[in-house]
């Protein structure tokens, strides 16, 4: 149980294009999902907290107009990187908190490798 999927697993795009990444909780409902970014050999940095049916809460320094988050259902959150640039190349990971579980327990997706040329 507690499986989180991400799609795509990797994507290569040209500079200036937009890329959408999906995060799904497969066997549980998640009121809250989180989006992280991880650069090579570094830790996970929280980008934003996504709550179903409401606007996402972004961490300091994360551009909300560049990283659009939509959490339209209890099993799906999407992250859209708009006008991507090479510096946006990174490993993007989502996590989901089961609605029925503890407030802190998070299950992570497998990540999406974004490369912007």
Q: Name the one range near other proteins by CB under 8 A: 13-21, 62-70, 73-81, 108-116.
A: 108-116
Exactly one of 58, 106, 114, 116 binds other proteins (CB under 8 A); that residue is 106
User: What part of residues 36-65 is at the interface with other proteins (CB under 8 A)?
Assistant: 42-46, 49
| Complete DSSP assignment for the chain | ---EEEE-SEEEE-TT--EEEEEEESSS-EEEEEEEEE-TTS--EEEEEEETTS--EEPTT--TTTEEEEEEETTEEEEEE-S--GGG-EEEEEEEEETTS-SS--EE---EEEEE-
- Nearest approach, Cβ of residue 34 and other proteins (Å): 7
Could you list the residues that contact other proteins (CB under 8 A)?
4, 6, 32, 34, 42-46, 49, 93, 95, 97, 102-111, 113
């Amino acid at each position: 149980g507690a499986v989180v999927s991400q799609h795509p697993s990797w994507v290569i795009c040209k500079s200036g294009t937009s890329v959408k990444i999906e995060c799904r909780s497969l066997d549980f409902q998640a009121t809250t999902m989180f989006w992280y970014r991880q650069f090579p050999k570094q830790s996970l940095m929280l980008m934003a907290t996504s709550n179903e049916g409401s606007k996402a809460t972004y961490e300091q320094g994360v551009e909300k107009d560049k990283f659009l988050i939509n959490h339209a259902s209890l099993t799906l959150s999407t992250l859209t990187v708009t006008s991507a640039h090479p510096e946006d190349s990174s490993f993007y990971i989502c996590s989901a908190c089961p609605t029925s579980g503890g407030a802190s327990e998070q299950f992570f997706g497998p990540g999406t490798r974004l490369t912007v040329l």
